[in-house]
Amino acid sequence: YILLEISQKFGFENIDTLLAQIGAGKLSAYQVTT
């Protein structure tokens, strides 16, 4: 699952944390996809 891979790549503990960071604008779509 791609979001799980991304979350692990960025060192987030879980998907909710990853999505929260994106929602907070701390990660842009560009940063997540590259």
Tell me if the pTM is above 0.75: no
Residue range(s) defining the domain that contains residue 16? 2-33
pLDDT tens string 1-34: 566 676 667 665 666 776 776 776 655 554 555 5
**Whole-number Å distance between alpha carbons of 33 and 31:** 6
**Number of domains within the chain:** 1
The CA-atom distances, in angstroms, between 27 and each of 12, 20, 33 are 12, 9, 10
